[in-house]
């Protein structure tokens, strides 16, 4: 939903955005730190990665619900048509990855019959898909590749925000911050 008025995202959207962004980067670093571990140590680190992934999924679903209930600011008028397309495409890809990565990880874990321990609070059971270690391994490989794509997408997103803020001087980054310059319409 879009309306003409707001120049910034709502406070709720800002909180979801920054919380999810930090958790995604932390989760990526957790996965990277586990790559060279073996056995129980690797399993313990990946247990945290999986639990955090499920938290990211829950927050993303909350963010999507928030987004549909609250108006989005229009893109500034100074955006070129290709920038508008790139901005919208990037946001769609973010949502697909923020939902797809945790679901894919949960599916892969289910295929190797490993339930997800949610930080010792409760266990997320395996999906009723049966055991298939080959398919589980293939999905884990896709999951890793999609995670790498997510990191590149984050870098593109940051570069775009910096470009609009400091090169175009439309203060684009302040659309997602509750303070600072006045973002242009």
Output the 3-class SS for 67-112: HHHCCECCCCCCCCHHHHHHHHHHHHHHHHHHHHHHHHHHHHHHHC
Q: Where are the domains of the chain?
A: 11-176
What is the chain's pLDDT, residue by residue, as a tens digit (185 residues)?
Answer: 444 446 789 999 999 999 999 999 999 999 999 989 999 999 999 999 999 999 999 999 999 999 999 988 888 888 899 999 999 999 999 999 999 999 999 999 999 999 999 999 999 999 999 999 999 999 999 999 999 999 999 999 999 999 988 898 887 788 898 887 665 55
- What pLDDT is attached to residue 16? 98
Mention every residue, 6+ apart, whose C-beta is less than 8 A from residue 149.
97
Continuous segment of H or E residues that includes residue 46: helix 39-69
Between CA 6 and CA 69 the distance in angstroms is: 14
CATH of domain 11-176: 1.20.950
């Amino acid at each position: 939903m879009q309306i003409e008025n707001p120049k910034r995202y709502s406070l709720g959207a800002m909180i979801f955005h920054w919380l999810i962004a930090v958790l995604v980067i932390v989760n990526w670093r957790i996965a990277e730190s586990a790559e060279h571990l073996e056995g129980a140590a690797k399993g313990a680190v990946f247990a945290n990665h999986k639990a955090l992934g499920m938290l990211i999924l829950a927050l993303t679903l909350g963010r999507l619900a928030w987004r549909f209930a609250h108006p989005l600011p229009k893109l500034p008028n100074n955006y070129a048509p290709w920038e508008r397309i790139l901005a919208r495409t990037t946001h769609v890809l973010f949502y697909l990855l923020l939902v797809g990565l945790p679901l894919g990880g949960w599916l892969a874990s289910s295929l190797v019959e490993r339930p997800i321990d949610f930080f010792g609070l409760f266990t997320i059971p395996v999906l009723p898909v049966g055991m298939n270690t080959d398919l589980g391994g293939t999905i884990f490989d896709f999951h890793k590749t999609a995670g790498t794509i997510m990191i590149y997408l984050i870098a593109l997103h940051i570069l775009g925000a910096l470009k609009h803020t400091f090169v175009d001087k439309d203060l684009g980054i302040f659309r997602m911050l509750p303070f600072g310059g006045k973002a242009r319409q």
